Amino acid sequence: MEKVILSTLSVEELTETLTQKIFALIKSEVKSNPIKTKEKEILTREETAKLCNIKSLTTLWNWEQDGRLIPAMRAGKKPLYLRQDVLNFLNIKEGDSLV
């Protein structure tokens, strides 16, 4: 059991001491368990075009009309794509170009 020492501290001193202890604990926890950032799962048309390496958003619209790459959802009228759907489409597209 740790020793308990009673002393008088101002609110500011107590706050500063606790803040330092909390930051030290958080810092050691972050070092031992690094936070993995997850890639964005939902893509806008612009992000999808960049991932597909195309410059014209009309190409995305054409792919949608042809049924090749369908948006997973819409935000109002704006199409939104799932990253995995786009990656799957790109893999299929690359395979088709070899034929």
**pTM for the whole structure:** 0.55
| 30's tokens | 């972050």
Q: What is the DSSP letter of 35?
A: P
Phi-psi region for residue 45, left (φ > 0), alpha (ψ -120 to 50) or beta? alpha
| 72's tokens | 């997973």
Predicted confidence (pLDDT) per residue in 81-91, tens digit: 999 999 999 99
The domain limits of the chain are: 42-97
Predicted confidence (pLDDT) per residue in 17-30, tens digit: 888 888 788 777 76
CATH fold label, 42-97 = Multidrug-efflux Transporter Regulator; Chain: A; Domain 2 (1.10.1660)
